[in-house]
């Protein structure tokens, strides 16, 4: 009986650890910061095979733009060593939506927020495989 109790406790701990492991905790977020070293940031875009990446300054001026693609997702590394300290924005546009992420540069430290500060879904997006409850 004690062996069975120990086994069930170990199983419960194992399953609770697996179920709480999530990158961000939300399925909607696709950008994940993988590595940050000084002014260099590496991030991944899960579930995205094609996207337009743009970097804007705090006044909305376009600084950088590129079309990125990947077979199972997109992995990008940006170096911000030439950027002056301040706040910038990374805009990721895919076939479904446009999300904006904040980039903060303070001297030799660059931080890219993995949580989007805004998400705008495209009007042509058909919400296939979504459930809506109506009363």
pTM: 0.70
The number of domains in the chain is: 1
Determine the structural domain holding residue 66 and report its residue range.
26-119
Q: What is the pLDDT of residues 103-116, one digit of tens each?
A: 999 999 999 998 99
Q: What is the pLDDT of residues 29-74, one digit of tens each?
A: 579 999 999 999 999 998 889 999 999 999 999 999 999 999 888 9
Burial (CB count within 10 angstroms: exposed 0-12, middle 13-18, buried 19+), residue 36: middle
Burial (CB count within 10 angstroms: exposed 0-12, middle 13-18, buried 19+), residue 45: buried
Question: Per the domain annotation, does 80 fall within a domain?
Answer: yes
Question: Per the domain annotation, does 1 fall within a domain?
Answer: no
The number of angstroms, rounded, from the C-alpha of 97 to the middle of its chain's C-alpha atoms is 13
Question: Per the domain annotation, does 4 fall within a domain?
Answer: no
Which helix (H) or strand (E) segment holds residue 9: the answer is helix 2-20
C-alpha span between 13 and 32 (Å, rounded): 26
Question: Per the domain annotation, does 14 fall within a domain?
Answer: no
C-alpha span between 41 and 76 (Å, rounded): 8
Question: Per the domain annotation, does 125 fall within a domain?
Answer: no
Question: Per the domain annotation, does 6 fall within a domain?
Answer: no
Give the CATH number, domain containing residue 51: 2.60.40.1930
Cα dist. 77→40, 68, 71, 124 in Å? Answer: 7, 12, 17, 31
Question: Per the domain annotation, does 58 fall within a domain?
Answer: yes
């Amino acid at each position: 009986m004690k062996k069975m109790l120990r086994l069930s406790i170990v199983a419960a701990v194992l399953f609770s650890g697996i179920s709480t492991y999530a990158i961000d905790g939300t399925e909607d977020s696709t950008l994940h910061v993988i590595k940050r070293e000084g002014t260099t940031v590496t991030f991944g875009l899960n579930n995205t095979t094609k996207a337009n990446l743009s970097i804007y300054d705090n006044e909305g001026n376009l600084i950088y733009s590129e079309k990125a693609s990947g077979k199972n997702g997109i992995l990008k590394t940006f170096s911000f060593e030439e950027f002056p300290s301040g706040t910038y924005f990374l805009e990721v546009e895919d076939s479904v939506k446009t999300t904006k992420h904040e980039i903060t540069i303070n001297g030799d430290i660059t931080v890219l927020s993995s949580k989007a500060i805004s998400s705008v879904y495209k009007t042509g997006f058909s919400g296939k495989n979504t459930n809506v409850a109506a009363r």
